[in-house]
Amino acid sequence: MSKRFLNFQPKVQEVSNYFKVLFRWKGSVYKLLRREFLVFLGAYTVISLVYRLVLNAKQKETFDSICIYADDFSSLIPVSFVLGFYVSVIIHRWWDQFLAIPWPDRLVYNVAAHVDGDDESGRIFRRTMVRYVNLSTLLLFRSVSQSVKKRFPTLDHVVNGGFMTEEERKSYEEIPSQHAKYWVPCIWFINLVRLARVDGRIASAPAVKSIIDEVNRFHDQCDEIFGFDWVSVPLVYTQVVTIAVYTYFLACLFGRQYLQPDAGYQSKGRNADLYIPVFTLLQFLFYFGWLKVAEDIMDPFGEDDDDFEMNLMVDRNLQLSYLAVDDLFHSYFPLVKDLHYGDPDPEIPYTKASLKSKVNSWPGSAERMKISKTGMAIAELSAPHIRLHQHHDDVQGHVSPSARSPSGYNSRHKGSQEIVQENCLPIRKNIGRKEKDKDKTKNRGCSKQGVATLSSNNQHKE
């Protein structure tokens, strides 16, 4: 990946940095478009010279109509919309691939924390476990990255690099699978975890679970990277965008040509004879640059200037792994009081260059809000609010004895309680009346039923 913004400080007093970035060659748009730009400019110049020096008057009229036709219908190509959405998809995919790169750091830290042992066997246990983790990463990178594949073209190179032993290579090659086998070292790692637990080098089952969880997370990231390499952006979408851009600028080769003023096309803005189409070339730089950037970062595991530096990751991961589980495994220091011991508000010094960046702590946007004294007064609960809850409890019959008694309320709610009781009397009376009406209805029904029974008995006697 090109270090385009190294030592770049966008300040007004350092405008030269803008020009350094603008005219940088490595990883720049000029390097990407140098061939296409020269071809387009050369084709435009040849067409212009043929129009000016070779064609006769009648041929020029035909050429003028072709140019007008190309210019009118080039605006119908939705190149901005199609290209913009395509580049957005590619950029999002490119960043997701970077986030999915499996870093062994967390897994290595778990090994250093839970796999104990100061003897030679303990050191070999830990170093072998993290070596398997790095071996899995290397096998994955060999499958997706051209630069890593060139560095480790065969398993013999992997063995010579110290990632695999001869016995492990033979076992790896004997596995009957035609699919990618970058997951095999993860299985070897899990077997060592189980063996370390049996030997007592891992103290507890939760420690084993913590290590296995990190292995699963690490393997999920490996699968995600392999999936990105396997499933790419649909070819149809890439073809549509490429055809749209190339067709648009093919039309611009004719539509942006200078036409003679006596042909009657001054209304089209061709009365200015520009030997170099400045704005057309700028448009070519923008649109084609957009397309080339998308094509360049579609596969970030290659060897372009902006691709991920996978070989550097391989070196970095192996060194960090061995340092964490071996060289720094018993890196202890005497416990002493720190420089700010006993100081509740330590003041960390600033250099003169950084003093201008010192700011006060942000208290929060609501801290500056001003509230009047009237608004800060404590508001009492209104009587209708209490009446509503009391009425609900009385109707449902769930009022507790403490809530029914006057002692259940605070002294400042006595007035509200009296209001509630007065308002609840009519409700209770209505409830009593309804119950009496129901009893009367039942009695009437019973009397009617008794009369009917008596009459039927008399008829039977007769």
The pLDDT tens digits of the residues spanning 284-296 come to 999 998 898 898 8
> Above 60 in pLDDT, residue 451?
no
Which range, of 65-74, 96-105, 140-149, averages the lowest pLDDT? 65-74
Distance CA 283, CA 75 (A): 13
Angle ∠(140,105,324) on CA atoms, nearest 5? 120
Structure tokens at 274: 């520009």
> Above 90 in pLDDT, residue 268?
no
In 3D space, the residue among 310, 313, 312, 288 whose CA is nearest the CA of residue 299 turns out to be 310
The pLDDT tens digits of the residues spanning 34-48 come to 888 899 999 999 998
Mean pLDDT in the chain? 81
Question: Residue 330: its pLDDT value, please?
Answer: 84
Question: Residue 412: its pLDDT value, please?
Answer: 45
Is the CB of residue 120 less than 8 Å from the CB of residue 205? no
DSSP string, 190-210: HHHHHHHHHTTSB--HHHHHH
The pLDDT tens digits of the residues spanning 398-430 come to 444 444 444 444 444 444 444 444 454 454 555
The one-character DSSP state at 363 is: -
* Helices of type H across 23-176: 29-53, 57-74, 79-99, 105-114, 120-144, 146-151, 155-160, 166-173
Tell me if residue 442 falls in helix, strand or coil: helix
- Highest average pLDDT, of 126-140, 294-308, 376-390, comes from 126-140
pTM as predicted: 0.71
Let me know if 22 is exposed, middle or buried by CB neighbors in 10 A (0-12, 13-18, 19+): exposed
> Above 80 in pLDDT, residue 452?
no
Calculate what percentage of the chain has a pLDDT beyond 70. 75
- Highest average pLDDT, of 259-263, 310-314, 382-386, comes from 310-314
> Above 90 in pLDDT, residue 75?
no
Q: How confident is the model at residue 459 (pLDDT cuts 50, 70, 90)?
A: very low
Q: How confident is the model at residue 395 (pLDDT cuts 50, 70, 90)?
A: very low
> CA 239, 240, 244, 245: dihedral to nearest 10 degrees?
-40
